[in-house]
Structure 1
């Protein structure tokens, strides 16, 4: 399934379980996937992270880009992140650490999907589990004249 099936704004609920520190952090917010141009989906997340009496705003932007006949996830600055491979584990080496991820979608039409990342290595040891649900329809791009 392509990322085009996920366009819209989703309620985001994330748990970060840091096994190194024994700390749990929760994030609640939204993830918006919108078609920025043909073959390019903007994936923007924003919310609030809470843990042990702390509360901070968090955000990130990724892009899912069609290259040939396959989709790839890129960081906001254009660096490659991983292939868009629903139901298959993907890998992203980052310095000496390794991230392994898995995107799972429920049946079509998608009403809920999950993204899980496991980070392991000398600097990191955590599991980040995200549930996206309650989609609101995608906004249609504004048409500009002139």
Structure 2
């Protein structure tokens, strides 16, 4: 089996609940943190296009020894050919997502910073994202491992 697991339909693959472990490294200061929790991909309610998913992540983020609850919401909308159009909760564009080869690179400019995400699918129940954030205010690496919940 190859290094990547091709996914013909990103939204069909992502649907359901996933356990999440994320490490955060600030390359400038050396500070580290981690997030642990759950991500759920559920059908969008009546305000979204058919087939779209609401992504809701919740858990605990520990930064420099201080634990805090954390959550975020994204919208994953159907794109052409089994891809997805990822949006922030308020509808602003975030990035595209094409997992047909099992690997995808996406860029998101945010003010003067650039977020570059690498998405890799390992198998039917495991995928990963690595976001590298560079700019005048940030120098971060965020690595997230997802494992499907039974």
Relative to the length of structure 1, the TM-score reads: 0.85
Of the candidates 24, 33, 39, which is equivalent to residue 16 of structure 1?
24
State the 1:8 CA deviation.
1.1
Deviations 1:22-68 (A, max 9, x none): 10101010001112252211111001011332010110000110145
Relative to the length of structure 2, the TM-score reads: 0.83
The equivalent of 1:100 in structure 2 is: 116
> Is the CA contact (8 Å cut-off) linking 1:17 and 1:24 kept in structure 2?
yes
> Is the CA contact (8 Å cut-off) linking 2:11 and 2:52 kept in structure 1?
no
Q: 3-state SS of the aligned residue for 2:149?
A: strand
State the 1:102 CA deviation.
1.3
Q: CA RMSD in A?
A: 1.4
Number of aligned residues: 134
For structure 2, the residue ranges without an aligned partner over 5 or more in a row are 1-6
> Is the CA contact (8 Å cut-off) linking 1:13 and 1:29 kept in structure 2?
yes
Deviations 1:87-113 (A, max 9, x none): 121100011110000111123xx1111
Is 1:88 aligned to 2:104, yes or no? yes
